[in-house]
């Protein structure tokens, strides 16, 4: 059985909003493994993958801004 992590716990761990984490989880194609009393739980392995997805998107956006600034 997979270890599960709630969005609230992941948000506290990574200092990011639950909404942003959930968006990134969707971006990598992850869906909740369990929903209990309205709390969504994801496979613990999916959370770091989602944070990597977010970091790569931020890096890409920053690189595009640098290219824009250079003209």
Per-domain residue ranges for the chain?
Answer: 4-70
Distance, CA of 51 to CA of 21 (rounded, Å) = 7
Q: Is 29 left (phi over 0), alpha (psi -120 to 50) or beta?
A: left
Measure the CA angle with vertex 64, ends 62 and 69; round to 5°. 95
Q: What is the reported pTM?
A: 0.81
Tens of each residue's pLDDT in the chain, 71 residues? 469 999 999 999 999 999 999 999 999 999 999 999 999 999 999 999 999 999 999 999 999 999 888 87
């Amino acid at each position: 059985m997979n270890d599960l992590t709630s969005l609230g716990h992941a948000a506290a761990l990574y200092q990011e909003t639950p909404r942003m984490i959930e968006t990134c989880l969707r971006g990598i194609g992850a869906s909740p493994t369990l929903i209990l009393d309205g709390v969504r739980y994801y496979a613990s392995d999916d959370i770091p993958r989602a944070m990597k997805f977010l970091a790569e998107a931020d890096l890409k956006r920053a690189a595009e801004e640098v290219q824009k600034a250079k003209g």
